[in-house]
Amino acid sequence: MTHQTILGIDPGTREMGAAAICGRRLLYAGVHTLRNGARPYDIVGQARRILLELIHDLTPQLVVIEKPLLLPTKRAALVSVIGQELRARGAELGCRTVEMDARSARRVVVANASATKLEVARTLVRDHFPQLAGKLPTPPKRAALGFAPKDRYWLHMFDALALAVAASRDH
């Protein structure tokens, strides 16, 4: 059976998670830091360049981009623009490009649309990709403090991986 290569993208304004799979094989998993420039266009351009490089290197048949939350903030609007740009460039390069919301990905991966990011990451490591165990976030001693920056960083990659895994089961 031939499996398609699926690239998951978790767009953001500071970090962009990316992960690619082919069947059960992990081809790529990483986080790309976006440097804030003088204009929002600078961030969109960086995200575009990263996507084009990933498509060139991995030749995915399907690109799955996390659907942004529609919040009335400048940051949410910028994430929405980044998502639109990534969808357009992916389609231009001949990739089938779809959006998937985080709840749908969680529902498929963990069987719980309300699962936490940590629960999703742990499930992905336990059930599919044990080689990523070193990237699992360390839970904060007190929940109110939240994750340390280095732990939040890798959650972007796990979000992208969840999108790819969920899409592999749907498509």
62-66 and 96-100 beta bridge pairing: parallel
Nearest to 159 by CA among 36, 85, 59, 64: 64
What is the reported pLDDT for 90?
A: 80
What is the reported pLDDT for 46?
A: 85
User: Tokens for 57?
Assistant: 């290197």
Around Cβ 16, how many Cβ atoms within 10 Å? 26
Amino acid residing at 21: I
Q: How far apart are CA 164 and CA 107, in angstroms?
A: 13
H helices, E strands: number in the chain: 5, 5
Phi-psi region of 55 (alpha: psi -120 to 50; beta: other; left: phi over 0): alpha
User: Tokens for 32?
Assistant: 């790309």
Nearest to 78 by CA among 118, 19, 34, 121: 34
What is the reported pLDDT for 75?
A: 67
Asked if residues 146 and 153 have their Cβ atoms less than 8 Å apart, the reply is no
Q: How far apart are CA 85 and CA 45, in angstroms?
A: 9
What is the reported pLDDT for 1?
A: 58
What is the reported pLDDT for 37?
A: 63
Nearest to 162 by CA among 15, 17, 13, 5: 17
Sign of CA dihedral 72, 36, 44, 95: negative
Each residue's pLDDT expressed in tens, for the chain with a length of 171 residues: 578 999 999 988 888 999 999 999 999 999 999 887 667 778 888 888 888 899 989 999 999 989 887 666 676 777 787 778 877 888 888 888 899 999 999 999 999 999 999 999 999 999 999 999 999 988 877 776 678 887 889 999 999 999 999 999 876
Sign of CA dihedral 152, 156, 162, 163: positive
